[in-house]
Amino acid sequence: MKQMMSQIKDSAKDSKYWTRRVKNNAAARRSREARHKKENQIRVRAAWLEKENIRLRVELLDARQQIVDLNRERPRNN
């Protein structure tokens, strides 16, 4: 459970406090950078998948057209 944020008096801000603040700030920065990197990777992958989807749809349409063309060329034996 998250702890309630409270103001710390200037008199209570000793070296232990500042050490923890510096470490926390660095950890928060790394976390934000990691999140941004992951979001960017997702955007890049989504764009690639959209292009691949279009390419595959075109390939499917071409294959279907080939089937239609081959069926027209083939003589029907009844």
Q: If you write DSSP's letter for every residue of 15-65 in order, what string do you get?
A: HHHHHHHHHHHHHHHHHHHHHHHHHHHHHHHHHHHHHHHHHHHHHHHHHHH
Q: What is the pTM for the complete model shown?
A: 0.64
**Per-residue model confidence as pLDDT tens digits over 26-70:** 999 999 999 999 999 999 999 999 999 999 999 999 999 999 999
- Higher-confidence residue of 65 and 2: namely 65
The pLDDT value recorded for residue 64 is 98
The whole-angstrom separation of Cα 60 and Cα 55 is: 9
